[in-house]
Structure 1
Amino acid sequence: MRIVFAGTPEFAVPALRACATRGEVVAVYTQPDRPAGRGRQLQMSPVKQAALELGLPVQQPLNFKSEEALAILRSHEADLMVVVAYGLILPQTVLDMPRLGCWNVHASLLPRWRGAAPIQRAIAAGDTVSGVCLMQMEKGLDTGPVLLQLKTPIGPKDTGGSLHDRLSQLGAEVLRDGLTLARAGMTLQAEAQPEAGVSYARKIDKAEAKLAWSLSAKALADQIRAFNPWPVAETELQGERVRVYQAQILAEDSGKPPGTVLAAGKAGIDIACGQGVLRLLALQRDGGRVQSASEYLNARPLTF
């Protein structure tokens, strides 16, 4: 089988490696190198780095609007195109090109959380289960029929980072399962997504990182977990901006206005919420390292 792989971030790397184990990947498509870091140096995507390590040819078109880009893709004579967090919407011309069409690995249990940020949205919404879907792509946004899926629970200590890593590995696993069946000449059963339960995981905006203390302690704790390690929840503690990496829900209501610091000590920093109390456990001040609330207070005691 001749496979074209398209992906960009770290999430897609295990899936690329799963595709490449039998020498079937004839080309890897990824986003163009872009400036990053303080020096704004051009950096390769994680998928490009992995592809070069594997000795695979790399293509980085801006899009597929030009006949040249389409001709190059057509020249690979792909049986299948596998797409994992590529970052481009593929036109129908591309979707129709491979013999078996295009497969997508998506990090949610469709139709819940279609779109750009399914991992963070699932945690922030308080979901207790997530998973990955292998989907036959069509022109709509994550609307195609599902071929295979794998589930995983979302634990109370899961963060956006831990769930990302687990789903990345599950994505490679569900893709391996699909490829095994396709190589055996079996037709995967495509199940149309139900119309009920559709939700959209819009792209994360950094402005969402600011904690709104009028919300419940549960909602804020879920937001903190979802936004760790990016964009990281933030708040102000008596005039200083801090980023919050870890917190704990305290059940009792304080009766104090939301945002009031109730206690600050070795156990953490307790803050009144719209409902319940949230204890901040791990913080980072601007330019500093992540530290426990106790360490933070040693350097900057709070008055209340």
Structure 2
Amino acid sequence: MRLVFAGTPEFAQTALAALHAAGFEIPLVLTQPDRPAGRGMRLAPSPVKQWAQARGLDVAQPRSLRLDGRHPEDARAVQERLQALRPDAMVVAAYGLILPRWVLESPRLGCLNIHASLLPRWRGAAPIHRAIEAGDAETGVTIMQMDEGLDTGDMLLAERVPIRPDDTTATLHDRLAALGARLIVEALELAACGGLHPMKQPEAGVTYAHKIDKAEAAIDWTLPAAVIERRLRAFDPFPGGAARLGDTLLKVWAARPAAGQGRPGEVLRIDACGPVVACGEGALCLTELQKPGGRRLAAREFLAGHTVVPGMVFGTPAA
């Protein structure tokens, strides 16, 4: 089976590696253009591009796939490649560009998407983050036949995964990436012998996983402790939790429930795990913090170099 692969981050790179190892022919890989990254803001290739080029796969980085968009020359170049390659299927995983109808209809079997949720729950850009933030007990991966809607296509395969009490987006991402890689290989093998049975998504239970905004990092201490704790796990590794202590803006990366009550943001005591801070309901022990320009530190290390005492108040950074 001849495939075109479209993806950008590590989640997609895991799937590309699995398809390559399974022996599928991949004559073309599409990925986002290089983006500025790091402190020097130098252009950096995506994980998918790095992996593909290291193995001699042909890579294209169109700025758009719309023939009537701002970069029609990019779209036409890809169109010509697809017409020449005549792929059996396109596999899409966290690509980041909208696929117009002409792309969806180019491969013989259409475009198969690896989506990190149990559709129709958490359609959209940030399904892993939002599942943790909402306190879902489980999530999973759905292999979907793409259509022109936002994650509205028929479901082909799906598998559930429990969300652990200590899961962050980083840890859950890795498990779902491995699951998605396995499921897309299975789906294509079934497709080759006509063994896939598309199923419409239910109309009930639709939710949208909106893109994570950096402004969401600001911790609102009036929220219940359980809500703040889930948000910290959901926003690890990006954008983390932001709090102000005096004139210092800190990152809060991890916390655990603790006994206590008081004015939201107030430091109630210093426990072995770290400072215990009152929330709108309950309290949290902050277990991992970071100062500007520093690195993530366990609370014990952080407190060795920073004064935090009972009665001090953590504030919410201004938007």
1:138 aligns with 2:147: yes
Helix, strand or coil at the partner of 1:134: strand
Deviation at 1:23, TM superposition (A): 4.3
In 2, the alpha carbon distance for the partners of 1:176 and 1:297 equals 48
8 A contact 2:260–2:268 mirrored in 1: no
Aligned to 2:119: 110
TM-score, with normalisation over the residues of structure 1?
0.96
Q: Please point out which of 179, 186, 191 is paired with 1:170.
A: 179
Aligned mate of 1:295, from 295, 298, 301: 301
Query: In structure 1, what is the Cα distance between the partners aligned to 2:278 and 2:36?
Result: 41
Write the distance in 1 (CA, Å) between the matches of 2:108 and 2:160. 29
**Cα deviation digits, residues 145-204 of structure 1 (max 9, x gap):** 110011111001100100011111011011111122123x12411111101110000000
Letter of the structure 2 residue corresponding to residue 15 of structure 1: A
Unaligned 5+ runs, structure 1: none
Q: Residue 282 of structure 2 is aligned with which of 276, 280, 296?
A: 276
Matches within 5 A, 1:125-164: 125-164=134-173
CA distance in 2, matches of 1:36, 1:290: 20
Q: What TM-score comes out, normalization by structure 2 length?
A: 0.91
Q: Does 14-23 or 138-147 show the bigger shift?
A: 14-23
The offset of 1:253, in angstroms, is 4.8
Letter in 1 for 2:231: Q
2:253 corresponds to which residue?
245
Partner of 2:222: 214
Structure 2 portions without partners, runs of 5+: 312-319
Aligned equivalents of 2:190 and 2:113: distance in 1?
16
Task: Please report how far the alpha carbon of residue 265 of structure 1 lies from its aligned counterpart in structure 2 after TM superposition.
Answer: 4.1
Q: Which amino acid aligns with 1:235?
A: A
Distance 1:253 1:194 in 2: 43
Q: Is the 8 A contact 1:63 1:69 kept in 2?
A: no
- Inter-partner Cα distance in structure 1 for 2:298 and 2:114: 37
Q: Is the 8 A contact 2:271 2:285 kept in 1?
A: no
Greater alpha carbon shift after TM alignment, 289-298 vs 81-90? 289-298
Q: CA deviation at 1:267?
A: 2.8
1:3 aligns with 2:3: yes
CA distance in 1 between partners of 2:101 and 2:249 (Å): 47
Q: How does 1:1-304 map to 2 (within 5 A)?
A: 1-21=1-21, 22-64=23-65, 65=67, 66=72, 67-183=76-192, 185-250=193-258, 252-254=259-261, 256-303=262-309, 304=311
Report SS of the residue matched to 1:231: coil
C-alpha separation in 1, matches of 2:6 and 2:191: 19
Cα distance between partner residues in 1 of 2:83 and 2:60: 13
- Counterpart residue type for residue 180 of structure 1: E
Deviation at 1:237? 2.4
8 Å CA contact 2:118, 2:141 repeated in 1: yes
Distance 1:202 1:23 in 2: 33
Instruction: Give the AA of the match of 1:200.
Output: Y
**How far apart are the structure 2 equivalents of 1:190 and 1:261?**
54
RMSD: 1.2
Q: Secondary structure at the match of 2:264?
A: coil
For residue 211 of structure 1, report the CA deviation from its aligned partner. 0.6
Q: 1:61 to 1:169 in 2, by over 3 A?
A: same
Q: Distance in 1 between matches of 2:291 and 2:271?
A: 17
Q: How many residue pairs were aligned?
A: 301
SS in 1 for 2:244: strand
Secondary structure in structure 2 of the residue aligned to 1:225: helix
The whole-number CA distance in structure 1 between the counterparts of 2:149 and 2:273 is: 49
